[in-house]
Amino acid sequence: MSRGSGRYAVYFAPDSNTALARFGAAWLGYDAATGVQSTQSAVATMSPERLHEITGEPRRYGFHATLKPPYALDGRSDVSDLEKAVAALARRVAAFAAPPLRLARVGGFWALTLSESCPTMDHLAAICVEELDHFRAPPSETELARRRRAGLSPRQEALLQRWGYPYVMEEFRFHMTLTARLQGEESDAVGSALAPLVERLTRAPLVIDAISLFYQENPQTAFRILHRYPLAG
């Protein structure tokens, strides 16, 4: 896997040995840690083809929660410097327990979110956005237009212009996306299928013990984990 061009992002991704990571890889049919695609978990109310279709977008990004959204490197930046910066940030932040996960609809798609607010998580996302921003190339006009089609508030527009993404800082909401946007009975059926699969993952606090640097070589390829940095503050 070549590096340099493409996009980078800093995400929370659970350790591959955890039940949460195994669920995410099985549901999406893709493991961002290994780059291996696999047969997805069966859903009784849906054909395998439709399940593959509605998980296509989250599969491309890998099972994760966004901290620093995807961006191309500024032309003056070096990948090794980015890696060093992410590692240094992780060394300053202590691991912590976030509230348990819950299954929720977020803007029409199904995701795992936190069951309660978590200022420590919000702070982690904010420092990832701020402290790594000097590596980010400005978004293209096409990308800006795509973001604006969602219908941004004045504050979200200001965040888009400052940070290249509208859902950061006070607009940040921790979520691990599981589907595309769905409607009506199909959305209800998918939620009913997901509920028993994730129930065991929602019983205990979510351990946030590392941040991961992800890389996407080009728009046709999926994101991969380059490195997982333990939180060691």
* Amino acid letter, 89: L
Q: Cα–Cα distance between 158 and 127 in angstroms, integer?
A: 18
For residue 13, the number of C-alpha atoms closer than 13 Å in the C-beta half-sphere is 27
Please list, in sequence order, all residues whose beta carbon lies within 8 angstroms of the beta carbon of residue 6, skipping any fewer than 6 positions away.
72, 215, 216, 217, 218
Strand bridging mode 109-114 / 7-12: unpaired
- Determine the pLDDT at residue 42: 85
CATH class of the domain at 7-212: alpha beta
- Determine the pLDDT at residue 165: 96
The full 3-state SS of 36-66, as one line of letters, equals EECCCCCCCCCCHHHHHHHCHHHHHHCCCEE
- Determine the pLDDT at residue 45: 85
Per-residue pLDDT of the chain (233 residues; tens, 9 = 90+): 445 579 999 999 999 999 999 999 999 999 999 999 999 988 888 999 999 999 999 999 999 999 999 999 998 889 999 999 999 999 999 999 999 999 999 989 999 999 999 999 999 999 999 999 999 999 999 999 999 998 999 999 999 999 999 999 999 999 999 999 999 999 999 999 999 999 999 999 999 999 999 999 998 999 999 999 999 98
Q: Is 108 exposed, middle or buried (0-12, 13-18, 19+ CB in 10 A)?
A: exposed
For 162, the enclosing helix (H) or strand (E) is helix 154-163
- Determine the pLDDT at residue 2: 43
pTM: 0.94
Q: Please say whether the beta carbons of 65 and 118 come within 8 A.
A: no
Q: Cα–Cα distance between 13 and 24 in angstroms, integer?
A: 10
> pLDDT for 164-184, tens place per residue?
999 999 999 999 999 999 999
- Determine the pLDDT at residue 3: 54
